[in-house]
Amino acid sequence: MDKDIATPLRTRAILEKYGFSFKKSLGQNFLIDTNILKKIVSFAELTDHSGAIEIGPGIGALTEQLARLSKKVVAFEIDQRLLPILADTLAPYDNVKVIHSDVLKADVQQVIAEEFTEFEDIVVVANLPYYVTTPIIMKLLEERLPIRGIVCMLQKEVADRISAVPGTKDYGSLSIAVQYYTEAETVMIVPKTVFVPQPNVDSAVIRLTKRESPAVKVKDEQFFFQVTKACFAQRRKTLLNNLTSQLADGKRKKGEILSALETSGIEPSRRGETLSLAEFARLSDELYHYFH
């Protein structure tokens, strides 16, 4: 009998034992390849002093690998039907705590304070449900959690957008939002064949290493993100067109927008995807004067 939860045989046996059926609405796809799981965990570089936070443990396949390599694992599971399964599959590990909660509504800061009091090193490692990948990542970053970083599996297409560089078609406001807080790299591509049920798309594992301080200094973070979103509102449009149509009062302040672009040394005819993080920072700081 293979000990690992993730083998196809053992996964099937667990699902049958509990009569578990997948909920499409929760984006449940379980990994059935132990080698891939071990590889994902290796990217997190855990030690026996590390704490791991997992989101959506499923039947515990990744949780088990994390429990073997870290000091403690705290997993957030939204699906009540999985709690008894996890209690069973993770019974051999006394360093795992499962919290029945939607991570998007949870006070993660509070959980870290209570569960990882003595920990200096905390990493989020997760096979994220596809339909909420971006909101979960943004929540973890915006809340400035005391974590070293995030290693997660997500849709390859979203991973491409997160780690994209300026001048590419994948580069957009999501790339900027994530790279503002972290250094982002796609570390592995995962074929759809290693999941049950099989998703329609391939996945990728992305590693986000938190920066000591954000990539660029800006006067107003919220406004900076507002400006980057505006610049990508319609990809084919120029910066000038997007900013005038997207910023509140933009049409009336077209002259001010032009002068902010000029002061930042940015051609009004450029498109959002050509600007670096530093250029976006300069531009949003110049625009800030006129819109506040």
95 labelled binding-site residue: no
Task: Name the residue with tokens 């005391």.
Answer: 146
Nearest to 199 by CA among 54, 79, 71, 27: 27
The CA-atom distances, in angstroms, between 58 and each of 22, 73, 97, 261 are: 10, 14, 14, 49
CB–CB of 172/232 below 8 Å? yes
Using H for helix, E for strand and C for coil, what is the string for 252-287? CCHHHHHHHHHHCCCCCCCCHHHCCHHHHHHHHHHH
242 labelled binding-site residue: no
CB–CB of 108/147 below 8 Å? no
Output the six-digit token pair for 69: 């390599």
- Other beta carbons less than 10 A from residue 107's beta carbon: 11
Backbone angles phi, psi at 190, to 5 degrees: -120, 120
29 labelled binding-site residue: yes
Please tell me the distance from the alpha carbon of residue 135 to that of residue 115, in angstroms, as a whole number. Answer: 23
Please tell me the distance from the alpha carbon of residue 21 to that of residue 15, in angstroms, as a whole number. Answer: 8
172 labelled binding-site residue: no
Three-state DSSP state, 154: strand
* Strand segments (E) across 113-229: 122-127, 149-155, 182-190, 195-196, 203-210
Query: Residues annotated in the binding site, as ranges?
Result: 29, 31, 56, 77, 102, 127
Query: Residues annotated in the binding site for S-adenosyl-L-methionine, as ranges?
Result: 29, 31, 56, 77, 102, 127
